[in-house]
Structure 1
Amino acid sequence: MRPYLRNTLAILTVAAVTGGGLLLPVASASAAPVPAPAPKADFNGDGFADVVVGTPGAAVGEVRAAGQAVVLYGSGAGLAPAKRQLLTQDSPGVPGAPGAGDAFGSVSAVGDFDGDGFSDLAVTARGEYNNAGHLSVIWGSKNGLSSGVALADPDKLPVQTPQNRRIWGAKLVAGDFDGDGKDELVVGAAANAAVNGTLYTYENIARTGAQPAPVKTALGFRLTSSSEGIAAGDVNGDGHDDLVLAGTANSLNQYVPGSPAGLVPAAAKPVGPGDGQAVGDINGDGYGDIVIGNRYGAKGGQILVSYGSAAGPSATPVAIDQGTPGVPGADEQNDGFGVSLSFGDVDGDGYQDLAVGAYGEALDTVTPTGTTSVSVAGSVFLFRGSADGLVTKTGVQAMSRNSAGVPGDARRAEQFGVEVKLTDTNKDGKADLIVGASDADGVNAGSVTYLPSSGTKVGGTGSLQIVPAQVGLTPFGGLSFGAHFNH
């Protein structure tokens, strides 16, 4: 769950929609296989990336907080609120039934789980079964997302208590961890402090609803309950995706490599503290690089960059914050720099660029009576990739509601940048930026801002702000539309 500085529902948010300068040092690397990209969300197979935005706090009819998944479908014009699909547990073919507090859409991940060429959506109703969680896989098709199947918790507890509980589907991510060319779904079951975490890997999920036997991977540390604490990518260039996930082993994230036999927790390595993770090839050397976001690091938050190699992630990550030369703004308390992360190639040069959210940053706004400081307004920073690594001294694009080409007005506690995603929604070969703001309209209902790539930057022509009413949701305090996007 993305953190909020104002009162919000204590549940995760996900929804489905139709329709430089100083160059950070990197270790020299020999030739390696190019890592497979993370599964792109393309539910109808039209080549345009789709985005799942989550609203587990949304009502379904009169059922409060049953949860909805709003799916925004990509097109030649990018994203538009009219081209959407709302999924609930009351939708035809979607497993389960809406219940108060079920929080359907609280966690989601995308991959082709049945091998038919269409992206599928794995989605959790975190609050169902007395907060034990309910997991569904909804199938993609030429018409978009439709029916699905439920994946039952193979180790479900007979009774949930504060002392002995687990949350099925608390973490979801897709990748090819055994290198066989097929997407697998990894499901994390968060447990209480007395129990170490377990990962469940599913492959070839059947449309019949027959329950597949997952590969269980016992971890030597407890999993956090945050859905954001997981990412996948090929860090060591061996053709198998690896995992980066947040646990509570000395408060560090863990790198867990893949292999022909799947995940190998015995070879796990710590990769720094923080609650945000992303994997992408910044320098184009064929190895995935790990970025950890630590919104409590430095003074106002920081990111830690561990470059990949045949031996895995570098042992000494490079720290970047708003005090790093060339990074716009200032390193100030509670900025939350690093709260959200996403990789994508914005300029089409073959290097992965990095979007970083700073949801707590204050903005100076000019009013008729003078300049006013707007607290917790939020900003997003776009760093460029290059052959020498992440570029920090020049060319960092800072975006807020005060920026030209960004729609909307700065508001106190808007938290612009609480979530970010880079993905090519208009099929022009360049990643566009989607930004979530959990309190965009002053009542904590939230919004999603679409900033298309011009080839040199994001924003400007074609940009738009999408608010809940435009996608068929009823805005209310605590809805937090835009606080979570799909993995």
Structure 2
Amino acid sequence: MRATPKWRTAFAALVTAAAIGAPAVPAHAVTGPAETDNARGFTARLDIGNGAKACSAALVAPEWLITAASCFADNPAESVRIPAGAPKLATKAVVGRTDLTTTDGAERTVVHLVPREDRDVVLARLSAPVANVRTARIADAPAQTGEKLTLTGYGRTKDEWAPVKAHNGTFTATALGSTDLDVTGDNAAICAGDAGAPLFRTSGDIAQIVSVASRSDQGGCFGIDTAQTSTKGVTARTDDLAAWADSTVKAAPVADFNGDGIEDIAISDPKATVGGNAEAGAVRVVYGGGKGNVQLDQSLSFVPGEAEAGDRFGQSLATVDYNQDGYTDLVVGVPFEDAGPVADAGMVSVVYGSAGGLGKGRVSEDFVQGQGNGALKASGNEKGDMLGWSVAAGKTRGGEPFIVIGDPGESIGAKEDAGNVFYVRGGTSVNLTQEAGLSGGLEAGDRVGWSVAADANNIAIGGPGEDIDGAGDAGCVWVLSHQLNADRKPTERANINQNSDKVSGGSETGDALGTSVALVENGPNGDSILAAGAPGESITNAAGTDVKNAGSVTTFKIPASGGWTQSQVIHQDQPDVIGGIETGDRFGETLQAINLSPKTAPTWQTLQLVVGVPGESQGPVTAAGAVQTMTLLGAPGPHNDVLYAGHNGLPGTPGANQRIGQAVAVSPTHIYVGMPTGPNAQGAAYAVPWQNVTSYAGPGPGPDQPVTVYQPGKDGIPAGGKAFGAVIR
């Protein structure tokens, strides 16, 4: 963003209000009349730094405001340049409440800033969506000279330092610059506290924002010398920013542990030795933008528990902004943690992000049985529970963060390894078993919770050990909504097994449906797509031979309206899927799914499925492994590609038992492929740009983009470890 040392101060002063010495309510609004209802509830009031500054803004999407970057600048008179990421000062927003004495609308925290580089404009993401407030739109045409525009804001008025209502005024456009729009108030002025306020025209009942308030002569504003009568102002244009704003508010989020707006990555080595304790486990965090890396393990004071042999800290990972402060938090499963004398009871830790990175802010917390509240508090530790074997995390459509914890070794009564799942959301802590919350027959060895996945709409739980009509370990998957039922548990929507009339094929011994699950939002309307892996599936080839453990993946549509339907059955004996079936391929051993543009209508390019095939042979090289990528919208068809050593930018050559595909992850920028079993003895992980695979880039060859290699002893990552790359998030 440009530096403007004087910011034309002879003509226009900054209108960010300093509330020091002000009344208890920070300053707000233009000198015009007060708003009489919430028709313009999209106008928001910002309290920055607990009363240090006050500004105005406008809601342009349920989770996003547009306002002035100068509101967040250290010295806006010198420069309005601000960094992307979490704001330096705590910022609260009131939206949908034009009368501050009411309880209308919502209060939110501003958690992330995306500034423009060329003008006094910033988009600000809120901690949760705002419902039932009409949003304004970014105009797609500039103001014309002489055009009458409306401004609403919470700055001072003629005779009030801190009005309790938003005010409005009419302004005439006088001069259009490349990034600014000059205006003059018609018996109104832009006052302190109005910085960032929307200046808009109205089309029907839709406000179209052409600019946001930046600077003003403030003639007639409370506290300004009465000799100053000019109502001239300078506003920052937005009419040419619609595409930028649209791409920003609709972008898929990335993990950002230190809040700098750059993607970070966590890579675990659950077999790492820590303080002489073999397989205590560790997680290496690599901060984006070349900001270094750190190791997290249980020898650190801010990580719950102690580093002990066999704990396997990092056996599972998930990310979510759990405390809604703008920094991504890391959820770490430690399934073999002992609880006193109880071996392998398990635990889950949440290490919180901060400006200094993970563990440098809020104290980490842990989830263990017998502590906390609800079902976790009521549960007891038992040998081999393996709490944290699987974890998933995210936010509901309403913006509430949640964590799903698999506990597949849990015994229910005399049924050993029946399995259990804990669902934690706010004050809710409930468990889900086939005894309570999940349909089906409770049996030993079901291993409910072996896999878990979740999106904003639904939760998926895999039970690969479930017996179906006498077929042992045929497997089952449950889908539940985040809507809580009368028992305060998520509501079951589907019990999916291959003997269902709605599912192709049949349940067979050892299919292990539910070994892996993935869920992804199918557009912005509450629909989801589920993918369920059955790596033990046997497939009969054209010669009539039963190929054991070839594996398959089945996808299902889970509409918001209710019900569910099968979409695709995918395996390597199909003409539109790369490769061929071989014994022990275990296609679908791991799964990841992503919607690269979750706020828009889905396309084949945005809905992506990644399938691990760790037993795949490459020519004569057995169990070299592979990763398949394909669209989730329709059959794989031409939108199917494969990653293996030496192909699509993945380095190296195929090696026996390297088992590429045993660890996969996805982000909006990359496919992550873990290589914990070689060729590097300590393990490795690769970040493959989506552009390298035709499932994303479209048909036809193209130049591969560079693949980033993460490896102990390379590029600043300390040497050491045994299975680096086992889990990636």
TM-score range with shorter-chain normalisation? 0.5 to 0.7
Within 2, Cα distance between the matches of 1:115 and 1:413?
43
2:390 to 229, 238, 242: 229
Match of 2:281 in 1: 133
Whether contact under 8 Å (2:404, 2:422) holds in the other structure is yes
Deviation by residue 1:107-153 (Cα, 9 ceiling, x = unmatched)? xxx72111122221111112211111122211123xxx773112242
Change (3 A) 1:152 1:229: closer
Q: In the alignment, is residue 408 of structure 1 matched against residue 408 of structure 2?
A: no
Separation in 2, partners of 1:326, 1:481: 33
1:268 is paired with a residue of what secondary structure? strand
Aligned with residue 476 of structure 1, among 633, 655, 658: 655
Contact 2:476–2:496 (CA<8 Å) still a contact in 1? yes
Aligned position for 1:382: 555
Counterpart in the other structure of 1:99? none
| d(CA) in 1 for partners of 2:645, 2:589 | 16
Structure 1 residue corresponding to 2:450, chosen from 247, 255, 275: 275
Identity of aligned residues (%): 22
Q: Deviations for 1:91-112, whole angstroms, at most 9, x for unmatched residues? A: xxxxxxxxxxxxxxxxxxx721
User: What residue is the counterpart of 1:184 in the other structure?
Assistant: 329
Equivalent of residue 175 in structure 1, options 309, 313, 320: 320
Deviations 1:380-437 (A, max 9, x none): 1110121333523xx5211111123211111111111111122246995631111111
- Once the two structures are TM-superposed, the CA of residue 468 in structure 1 deviates from its matched residue by 2.3
In the alignment, the residues of structure 1 paired with residue 390 and residue 531 of structure 2 have an alpha-carbon distance, to the nearest angstrom, of: 17
Corresponding position of 2:464: 295
SS in 2 for 1:318: strand
Matches within 5 A, 1:30-429: 111-129=255-273, 130-141=278-289, 147-153=292-298, 154=300, 157=306, 160=309, 165-190=310-335, 191-192=337-338, 193-194=342-343, 196-205=345-354, 214-220=363-369, 221=381, 229-234=390-395, 237=398, 239-246=400-407, 248-250=409-411, 251-259=418-426, 267-272=429-434, 273-281=448-456, 288-297=457-466, 298=468, 299=471, 300-311=474-485, 312-314=488-490, 318-345=494-521, 351-366=527-542, 370-392=543-565, 395-424=566-595
2:449–2:461 contact (8 Å) kept in structure 1: yes
Q: 1:235 to 1:212 in 2, by over 3 A?
A: closer
TM-score, normalised to structure 2, is 0.44
**C-alpha distance in structure 2 between counterparts of 1:396 and 1:158, whole Å:** 45
Partner Cα distance (1:200, 1:252) in 2: 20
How far does the alpha carbon of each residue in 1:267-325 deviate from its partner, in whole angstroms, 9 at most, with x for none? 332345230111135xxxxxx32211111112311111222214554465632101111
- Is the 2:258–2:353 Cα contact (8 Å) retained in structure 1? yes
Is the contact between residue 179 and residue 241 of structure 1 (CA under 8 Å) also seen in structure 2? no
Aligned pair in 2 of structure 1 residues 338, 330: CA closer, same or farther (>3 Å)? same
Q: Offset at 1:227?
A: 7.2
1:326 and 1:152, CA in 2 relative to 1: closer, same or farther beyond 3 A? closer
The number of aligned residues is: 354
Q: Is the Cα contact below 8 Å between 1:202 and 1:212 reproduced in 2?
A: no
Whole-Å separation in 2 of the counterparts to 1:231 and 1:123: 16
Structure possessing the higher relative contact order (Cα contacts under 8 Å, 6 or more residues apart): 1
Query: 2-side partners of 1:448 and 1:208: how far apart?
Result: 31
Cα distance change on mapping 1:351 and 1:236 into 2, 3 Å: closer
Contact 1:235–1:308, Cα closer than 8 Å, also in 2: yes
SS at match of 2:646: helix
Using the alignment, how far apart are the partners of 1:138 and 1:481 within structure 2?
Answer: 22
Aligned to 2:146: none
Flag the 1:244–1:198 CA change in 2: closer, same or farther, 3 A: closer
Shift of 1:332: 0.8
How far apart are the structure 2 equivalents of 1:146 and 1:345? 32
Structure with the greater alpha carbon radius of gyration: 2
- In 2: Cα distance, 1:374 partner to 1:346 partner: 33
| Pair 1:463 & 2:630 matched | no
The 8 Å contact of residues 235 and 313 in structure 1, kept in 2 or not, is answered as no
The Cα of 1:480 is off from its aligned counterpart by 1.2
Write the distance in 2 (CA, Å) between the matches of 1:405 and 1:229.
32
Letter of the 1:336 counterpart:
A
